């Protein structure tokens, strides 16, 4: 992999392994969304929401509150909580459609835990969210379901907007990676988009349950990136993935340099561990473009002093990604220092 391609991969986990969602207007060739307001098929779908939780904070309260306000009602909210001691069930006793299931920390896995939640549902559509993703408005579910009016759509994922405390570079990255235009990706885009074709973020994503089950669901043991691994299976099955730009959640992180390095290390490990999805799939040099555009943005808004930090963080991401691609040749003590998910290596 060329350095520019590696940098693209290592820049992506700004928000859970961020692969650029390109809109039809900004990137020629990607189909612009046809998710018209007149589409009403989403009204016929039953929907269950699955949320893994661990030491949840105020964001989960907001998530559950706003889910109750949705125009398209969620039938069940399945909360898969890691360690019972960290969740006060009485806090949520008034939410009648909430089901809480506890697991031990030793049982948690990004793929297996979500699949456990999926097996508790018989809804038409499975919606997955993280505990810190907050719906922007009451039309999140409605807009996330609209793409499924097309029977070729196997999954759809939402637009992520920056939180109020989001740093300047991350705000720009959100706008770069989550454009205002919806799009659809399919197998025919693979040669042009490369690995970006497979992007789908479980920060907020929906899947057809019948397709999910027929393809085996999320991989049962993964360091993370379960969403992209499964999205690759969807694409290779001949179905398409929709980016629903009008389905919006507030979700962002202000990661430090070592956190970025570790996330990119784990990202690369996930790609190395799943050659059936990623082998032979080219990477686009979007990383270099993102760095250049971010630097130009900082100059444009009169904050050029943030450019050195941008460059340093990009370097940490690049190093983490390169080390992850070579993890099999690294000693275990070093892997334990580089990973965010030590339980994966036990």
* Whether residue 168 is found in the same domain as residue 205: yes
Report the C-alpha gap between 242 and 227 in whole angstroms: 14
Report the C-alpha gap between 56 and 131 in whole angstroms: 7
Among the residue ranges 33-42, 96-105, 179-188, 262-271, the one predicted with the least confidence is: 33-42
* Whether residue 293 is found in the same domain as residue 236: no
> Where are the strands (E) in the chain, listed by range?
31-32, 47-53, 76-82, 98-103, 125-129, 134-135, 153-161, 183-185, 204-208, 240-250
* Whether residue 85 is found in the same domain as residue 155: yes
Report yes or no on 35 lying in a domain: yes
Residues 253-300: pLDDT tens digits? 999 999 999 999 999 999 999 999 998 887 656 677 888 999 999 999
Domains identified in the chain, total number? 2
**Which among 250, 268, 292 is the end of a domain?**
250
Higher-scoring residue by pLDDT: 197, 14 = 197
Q: How many CB atoms lie within 10 A of CB 249?
A: 25
Report yes or no on 287 lying in a domain: yes
**Which among 226, 250, 274 is the end of a domain?**
250
Residues 110-151: pLDDT tens digits? 999 999 999 999 999 999 999 999 999 999 999 999 999 999
Report yes or no on 3 lying in a domain: no
* Whether residue 138 is found in the same domain as residue 272: no
Residues 153-201: pLDDT tens digits? 999 999 999 999 999 999 998 888 889 999 999 999 998 888 889 999 9
Query: pLDDT-derived band of residue 17, with 50, 70 and 90 as boundaries?
Result: very low
CATH number of the domain that residue 58 is part of: 3.90.550.10
Q: Contact, 130 vs 251, CB < 8 A?
A: yes
* Whether residue 99 is found in the same domain as residue 223: yes
**Which among 230, 250, 270 is the end of a domain?**
250
Report yes or no on 7 lying in a domain: no
* Whether residue 34 is found in the same domain as residue 89: yes
Q: How many CB atoms lie within 10 A of CB 86?
A: 13
* Whether residue 160 is found in the same domain as residue 197: yes
The pTM is what?
0.87
Query: pLDDT-derived band of residue 5, with 50, 70 and 90 as boundaries?
Result: very low
Strand, coil or helix: what is 180?
coil
Query: pLDDT-derived band of residue 229, with 50, 70 and 90 as boundaries?
Result: very high
Q: How many CB atoms lie within 10 A of CB 274?
A: 18
How many CA within 13 A on the CB side of residue 48? 21
What lies within 8 Å, CB to CB, of 163 at 6+ separation is 250, 251, 252
Domain that holds residue 64: 21-250
């Amino acid at each position: 992999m060329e350095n520019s391609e590696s940098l693209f991969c290592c820049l992506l986990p700004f928000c859970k392994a961020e692969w650029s969602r390109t809109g039809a207007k900004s990137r020629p060739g990607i189909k612009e969304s046809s998710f018209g307001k007149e589409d009403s098929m989403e009204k016929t779908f039953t929907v269950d929401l699955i949320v893994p939780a661990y030491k949840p904070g105020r964001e989960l309260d907001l998530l559950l509150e706003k889910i109750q306000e949705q125009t398209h009602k969620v039938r069940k909210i399945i909360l898969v909580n890691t360690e019972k001691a960290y969740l006060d069930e009485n806090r949520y006793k008034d939410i009648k459609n909430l089901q809480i299931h506890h697991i031990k920390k030793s049982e948690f896995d990004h793929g297996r835990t979500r699949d456990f939640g999926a097996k508790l549902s018989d809804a038409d559509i499975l919606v997955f969210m993280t505990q810190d993703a907050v719906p922007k408005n009451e039309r999140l579910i409605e807009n996330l379901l609209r793409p499924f009016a097309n029977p070729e759509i196997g999954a759809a994922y939402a637009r992520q907007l920056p939180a109020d405390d989001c740093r300047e570079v991350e705000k720009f990255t959100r706008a770069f990676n989550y454009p205002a235009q919806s799009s659809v990706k399919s197998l025919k885009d693979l040669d042009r988009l490369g690995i970006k074709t497979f992007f789908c973020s479980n920060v907020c994503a929906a899947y057809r349950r019948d397709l999910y089950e027929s393809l085996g669901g999320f991989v049962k043991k993964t360091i993370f990136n379960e969403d992209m691994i499964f999205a690759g299976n969807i694409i290779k099955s001949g179905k398409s993935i929709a980016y629903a730009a009008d389905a919006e959640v507030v979700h962002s992180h202000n990661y430090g340099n070592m956190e970025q390095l570790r996330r990119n290390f784990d990202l690369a490990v996930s790609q190395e561990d799943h050659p059936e999805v990623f082998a032979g799939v080219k990477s686009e040099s979007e990383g270099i473009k993102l760095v250049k555009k971010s630097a130009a943005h900082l100059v444009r808004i009169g904050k050029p002093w943030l450019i050195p930090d941008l460059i340093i963080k990009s370097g940490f991401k690049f190093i983490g990604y390169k080390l992850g691609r070579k993890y099999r040749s690294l000693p275990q003590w070093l892997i334990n220092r580089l990973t965010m998910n030590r339980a994966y290596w036990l």
